Chain A
Amino acid sequence: MSNSVLSVISRFLEEYSGTTPTKLKVVDAYLLYILLTGALQFLYCLLVGTFPFNSFLSGFISCVGSFILAVCLRIQINPQNKGDFLSISPERAFADFLFASTVLHLVVMNFIG
């Protein structure tokens, strides 16, 4: 059983590194980073407690929000999805990503306390 799982995973990794353009891999790395940061924050909260609860929330929501925005960016700049986003050029997607991130971080800084 584990054998098949392992083989699926290795196949997936092969396909991924082969077919994905570099641009997308860069964004994926960023996504992984955000994910790890959020998970670690959650772990800390579980272990130690929610003492400055607002700080925990702002940090966690920052991770979640950034993850979502990065996913949106990735979808929009993927050349395979060009047909779905005819009016949105990659530059436009990037600009949207930046603007939304700014708003998100403004709210997060407000809440961090």
Chain B
Amino acid sequence: MNRSKLLGLFLLSLALAGAQSLTPSHHLSLSDVGRLQHLLSRPFTDLQSAYYSVVGLTKLGAAVPDQKEVCQFLKSQLNPTSIDSLFFAAETSKAISGCEIPVSNETRDILLAAVSEDSSMAQIYRAVGALSSLGLPLASQEVVVALTARINKEENVMGIILALQTASYLSQQAELGRILEEIEDLTARLDDLGGIYLQFEEGLEATALFVTAAYALSDHVDIEPPLKEDQVIQLVNSIFSKKSWDSLAEAFSVASAAAALSNNRFHIPVIVSALGPATVSHNQPTLQLLVTDVMSQALTSAKVLVESAYAVASKSNVLSQTPFTLNDGVFELNFMASKPASGYYQFTVAVTGDSRLVANHVELKVKVSTEVAVTNMDLSVVDKDQSIGTKTTRVAYPSKAKSSFTADSHQNFAMSFQLLDVKTEQELTPHQTFVRLHNQKTGQEVVFVAEPDSKNLYKFELDTAERKSEFDSMSGTYSLYLIVGDATLENPILWNVADVVLKFVDEEAPAAVQPKTLYIPKPEIQHLFREPEKKPPTVVSNTFTALILSPFLLLLILWFKLGANISNFSFSPSTILFHLGHAAMLGLLYIYWTHLNMFQTLKYLAIIGGVTFLAGNRMLAQKAVKRIAAEQSSRLAKYRSLR
């Protein structure tokens, strides 16, 4: 039992999700259709333009002007040996009444010869079109063979679209199944843009011609095209999103698509829109809807009904399964008859009556607006310790209180009122209920919000002492205004209720208040650069330098006194090299201090140090040998003397 309930709920949610399908966001409004017609009505100078203009206008359902002149033009411009020329002339002549293009046997032969595998798809299409429009006999099976062969050779989108168009001219007994499959293949090649648009990367013309061809062929063989509802709507969005057309060919393709989508056997997209703003009020109690096809032609045979309507704020259901009445091409519903409270309502509208209708469930947001009345406006000055009884003055809208109210720092100024819907006498809570105090002398204004209590009675209290900072402690006469506004109110209120004299305790700024000076130049910042550290005077530094060098003198004197000498200096090469190397190292250290960096110094030091080390090693070894020899000889002498 539980399982089946869950399953039912799941299926219902799926169905509801499906019901939230796409609705068209673009279509051809009446002005768009007018512009398209205007573009197609331009004077033409060659047969191709004539074809686009005349056939395009016919598709839009407009009358072709000067049909006799058009016919003359066709006959004069016709080139009986050119397939294209024959096609344009033939198709155009079919669109206007009473125009016959003369045909000869050569013409027929030329056209029949074009129907072969070797001609391009465009040539086959135009030949078949010409043959069909001129009423000449046609071998459908041969055409099918030629088309199938060309489809395999020409994979491009335009070619296949032309094949579809050609097939719609052929006899219904021919085997068109293979060609019919191409509709599905082409649908797969459409690009989905954001789930809203579906179009070929070749552009608008290709998409529009595809729609025309697909529906033409589907109608011809009476098999529903494999296009899902959402895909149809996405195609509608793509084709009708462009409102100004670059070329006659593009305009013609859009006109053809519009005609195909408003009059075929399978899918008719429905456009539902409100006439004017979707607002109802007591003055205008009817909600008016326009239900049209993509070319803004009214679908008068449809039945429109509200499936459900619920208030957005309270989610309560107001209407269910209520039909609209058709009145002069517009569908009307008297919504105010069900006495809705003011606010926003979400309508789900269904258009029925024809099984071909697509996107026939539409969500619409309707606003119910009303008029507000301010009642029971009571003003009073209350003492803070509430020892003195309050004296309330009632003021009626729109008059002003006769006397002004005075409040100093020991008193509060209080205001209470009610906001009612004029017609239903119900309390309202609009979005904006402000109390504005405007100082007449200084131009200062302070705005407060009046809040409703649980019984929807609005109260406002001004504590003079507490709020003095907002008034900048400026005493004086303030005009009190009540401001009431809301999106659903038709009569916003700005009411000068009374004058209030406020007395603040300490008057800090007797002068007129300056507007906040935000945009004047600010005081300049003086940047303090980092001061160099205080150095001692040069005399001191020099003295100490001399002082520090003095122990060196002392050292030299001491060494002299001790008798240190260099009498043992042996002039062997290693000694000289060692001393030179050592001196070079000391010199390098000085140069390092003045010029070099560590890496260079290490490099040079390695070289000089290596040389010095080897030389020094040699020198010290020699010295050691000498020392050991001296020690040995002295030991020998001692040993000898002891003996």
Contacts and interface: CB of A to CB of B under 8 A. Distances in A.
Interface string A24-37: 01100110110011
Nearest to B554: A33
A51 B533 contact: yes
B593 interface: yes
Given A98-B616, A106-B601, A112-B593, A22 B540 contact: no
Given A40-B548, A48-B536, A110 B598 contact: yes
B125 to A, nearest CB: 89
A7 interface: no
B562 A29 contact: yes
B570 to A, nearest CB: 14
Interface in A14-71: 22, 25-26, 29-30, 32-33, 36-37, 40-41, 44, 48-49, 51
A29 B554 CA distance: 9
Contacts of B189: none
B617 interface: yes
B623 A51 contact: no
Contact of A89 (B605, B609, B624): B624
Query: Number of contact residues on B: which range applies?
Result: 35 or more
A89 B534 CA distance: 51
A36 B620 contact: no
Nearest to A94: B620
A51 B589 contact: no
B617 A95 contact: yes
B329 to A, nearest CB: 95
Given A102-B609, A105-B589, A91 B620 contact: yes
Contacts, number: 74
A32 B559 CA distance: 11
A72 interface: no
Interface residues of A, number: 28
Chain B residues touching A, majority SS: helix
B564 A26 contact: yes
A91 B623 contact: yes
Interface in B538-573: 540-541, 544, 547-548, 551-552, 554-555, 558-559, 562-564
> Considering the complex of A and B, which 8 residue pairs feature the smallest CB-CB distances, nearest first?
A91-B620, A33-B555, A36-B551, A29-B558, A48-B536, A44-B544, A33-B551, A91-B624
17 contacts: A22-B562, A22-B564, A29-B555, A32-B551, A32-B558, A33-B554, A36-B554, A37-B548, A37-B552, A48-B536, A51-B534, A91-B623, A95-B616, A95-B617, A106-B589, A109-B590, A109-B593
Interface of A: 22, 25-26, 29-30, 32-33, 36-37, 40-41, 44, 48-49, 51, 89-92, 94-95, 98, 102, 105-106, 109-110, 112
Given A49-B534, A102-B585, 20 more contacts: A22-B564, A26-B562, A29-B559, A29-B562, A32-B551, A32-B554, A33-B555, A40-B544, A44-B548, A48-B541, A51-B533, A91-B620, A91-B621, A91-B623, A92-B620, A95-B616, A102-B609, A106-B601, A109-B590, A109-B593
Interface of B: 533-536, 540-541, 544, 547-548, 551-552, 554-555, 558-559, 562-564, 582, 585, 589-590, 592-593, 598, 601, 605, 609, 616-617, 620-621, 623-624, 627
